[in-house]
Every structure is written in structure tokens, then in C-alpha cells.
Amino acid sequence: MSTRPRVSTRISAISESATLAVDAKAKAMKAAGRPVIGFGAGEPDFPTPGYIVEAAVAAAREPRFHKYTPAGGLPELKQAVAAKTLRDSGYRVEPSQVLITNGGKQAVYEAFATLLDPGDEVLVVAPYWTTYPEAIKLAGGVQVDVVTDETTGYLASVEQLEAARTERTKVLLFVSPSNPTGAVYSPEETAAIGRWAAEHGLWVVTDEIYEHLVYGDAEFTSIATAVPELGDRVVILNGVAKTYAMTGWRVGWLIGPPDVVKAATNLQSHATSNVANVSQMAALAAVSGDLSAVERMREAFDRRRQTMVRMLNEIPGVFCPEPKGAFYAYPSVKELIGKELRGRRPRSSAELAELILEEAEVAVVPGEAFGTPGYFRLSYALGDDDLVEGVSRLAKLLAEAR
């Protein structure tokens, strides 16, 4: 008998996506007839705008889209993404610097696979989105956490980044607005971080997928535009999922210098080939159109954000800084850990989240999924009534903690 492991060591080290797992458990409970309210999902509750769906329907009827197309994306979509990047970020790129990917997730994987050699270090601000560590690990990279907390609104400073930098640091991952915290760096903070990265010859991988979801006086700043000194060591990740309520269509992109894009395209040509043409044509309609649909969603998210943050901060033991972007609140629940609740004493935010799901039928994602135990992530991309009902249930249950 072979003593070799059945599943490779590299792949068994990958954990299940905690956010998808919470969402799946909540959906299963719902299907079994329980009135679960889910704050787990990272997706808008709106349908994709009609004009985008119509573009997909028309594309499905065209025989040329029934065939393989270039692995790196339809030329017309690459062109439109380049134009959109100039419009929204003021960043000028050639269509040849765009790679169309199967959602932002594939862009994340391909960026790290293309940039990292074994042992290369990546600075990652924690709390971080749950997918980054797996993509970095799989590429042989070493993640170095730069931990932030609620006292700074989850923003990292140049001093913190510098303290984490070593001779092996190759990449800074910069995500603003952030999933899971909703933190948004100001233009000045963005520029300072970018200049520091440029000064030390680091690459910056920047995930701009929430660029259009910012609130109040917060402003989205593309680090690529803010810091021209970064030169050709910037890789931008983006996609249509969050801006156009298109999570299920699976279209994202990677923008970078020609050598990186060429290499990543080679990888994609063997892994998945072209993204589904119908989805690419839907994305083309999305990025070439105006931003009125996202503006309507943004207004609804802003209203829900304010309600959620107010209600969360009224719960004893919960503290939630104001998220400035994306559609997540990231409250600290540290004061509640170890307290007695319904005959149990949860010792971690993961255990507390489990108890809440069972007792209040409310699904939240524990901070363990984002590298910082002691917190919850709650998405406010759900209907206003459900949001109020869910947070009220949470408040009622947590009031019993002793």
C-alpha cells in the first residue's frame, strides 16, 4: 500500500471558504424551513440590470460566441475595460494590458501565481478577505500579516508596513475599500503607502472591486494613479460582480505590465481558456454603460449601512467603527467572548457565531475567517426589513450574555 497522501499536501492545506460555508449552512437551514437571516453573503441582493441581461441574450444567439475565443478575453471587452479604467481611475492602459478572468477570484490567483516565487513575502493587511491567503500559499508565497483593529478604523500606517518589510518582501496587497472591514484609505494615505512601496521597489497588487461603493465623504483612490512612481510594478484586480450585481456571471480582470499579463494569459490558456462569451458580452454592456444602476444600489447600501452600524453599536459588548465602503460592517465582539449565553460559554467568535446561528437563526461570519478572531463580519447587502429583523434578533440574544 502506498503511504502517499491521497490528496496532495499543497491542496489539502487549502481551507474551505468560510464565507461560502456560512452562507451554505444558512441557506440549508432556510431550505429546511427555518427563518434564517443571512448576513454572510458578499453579494448585492439586486438583480443584474435588464440592459446587461439583454446583451447576454443577444450574444447567446450569435454563433461566433458558441466557439472558443482568445484565452485572454474578447478584444472588444479588453478595449472597454481599458476605457473604463481611464474613466473611473484616470489610469491609462493598453487593451493588451488587460486579461479577462473568470471573476475577480481568478484574477487574484493568477496575479499571485504570476508574481511569486517560493519564499517571496506578501504584506497583507489584516483583517483580510479570506481568499488571499490561499492564493498566496498556493503560489508558494509567504503571507506576512499587518494587523489592524477598530481603534484605527482598520487602516494600516506606513510605519506598520515598514515594520513588516524584510529583504524577502516582494508584494504589498492593497485593498480599498476593504472586504471585510469597509475601510477606505484617504487619497493622502493611499499616496503615502504607494510612495513607500515605490521607494522600496515593491510590487503593489491592488484589488479595486469595491471602487464604486464608497459612502459619506470617503473617496476611492486608485493607488496606480495616485503614485505614478510605482511605474510598471502595479497589478490591478477588478470585476463586474459587485458594481453591477453580477456575482453569478463570473467576469473579472487583471491589469498589469505586458510581461505579467502575457505570463498570466499563458497560465489561463491552459487552466480555463476564455471566460464564457455570453458573460463577457454581458460585462461589455456593463462596463460600457453608465453608472446609474450602481448609484441606485449605493444609495440603498448607504441607508442600510447607517441603520446597521447604529443598531450594532447599541448592543452592549459590540463596537462597530463606521465602514466607509463596500457593503460590510466589522464589529468587535471581544467583550462578549467567554460570557455565559443560553447555558453555554463561547470561547471564540467562531463559537459565538455558531451559537447565534442556532439560537437566533442569524448567520454572521466570524473574524477567524479574516485573520482576526474576536470580530464578526455582517454584510448589509440584504433587504432593509431583514436587516432590521436580523440585527434585532442579535441584540435580543446578546442582551442575555452574563
Ligand X SMILES: Cc1ncc(COP(=O)(O)O)c(C=O)c1O
366 contributes a contact to ligand X by CB under 6 A: no
The least CB distance from residue 175 to ligand X, in Å, is 6
C-alpha pair distances (Å), 167 with each of 16, 52, 126, 174, 205: 32, 47, 21, 19, 18
User: Site for ligand X (CB under 6 A): which residue of 48, 85, 97, 179?
Assistant: 179
Binding mask 146-175 for ligand X (x = CB under 6 A): -----------------------------x
Q: How many residues bind ligand X (CB under 6 A)?
A: 13
Is the N-terminal amide bond of 177 cis, ω within 30° of 0?
A: yes
Sign of CA dihedral 331, 335, 338, 344: negative
- The residues, any chain, with a CB within 8 Å of residue 333's CB and separated by 6 or more, are 317, 318, 349, 352, 374, 375, 376
Reading the block at residue 201, the C-alpha cell is 521597489
Contacts of ligand X in 28-67 (CB under 6 A): 42
129 contributes a contact to ligand X by CB under 6 A: yes
The least CB distance from residue 317 to ligand X, in Å, is 27
- Looking at the Cβ atoms of 179 and 372, the one nearer to ligand X is 179
Amino acid (1-letter code) at residue 157: S
User: Site for ligand X (CB under 6 A): which residue of 172, 209, 230, 260?
Assistant: 209
Reading the block at residue 154, the C-alpha cell is 482598520
73 contributes a contact to ligand X by CB under 6 A: no
Look at residue 319 and give its three-state secondary structure. Answer: strand
207 contributes a contact to ligand X by CB under 6 A: yes
104 contributes a contact to ligand X by CB under 6 A: yes
User: Site for ligand X (CB under 6 A): which residue of 40, 252, 325, 367?
Assistant: 252
CA dihedral 207, 211, 216, 217 (to 10 degrees): 80
Sign of CA dihedral 48, 51, 55, 60: positive
DSSP secondary structure letter of residue 58: H
User: Site for ligand X (CB under 6 A): which residue of 49, 103, 194, 256?
Assistant: 103
- Looking at the Cβ atoms of 239 and 367, the one nearer to ligand X is 239
The least CB distance from residue 207 to ligand X, in Å, is 5
Q: In the beta sheet, which residues pair with residue 122? A: 143, 171
Distance CA 212, CA 215 (A): 9
247 contributes a contact to ligand X by CB under 6 A: yes
241 contributes a contact to ligand X by CB under 6 A: yes
Where do contacts with ligand X occur on this chain (CB under 6 A)? 42, 103-105, 129, 175, 179, 207, 209, 239, 241, 247, 252
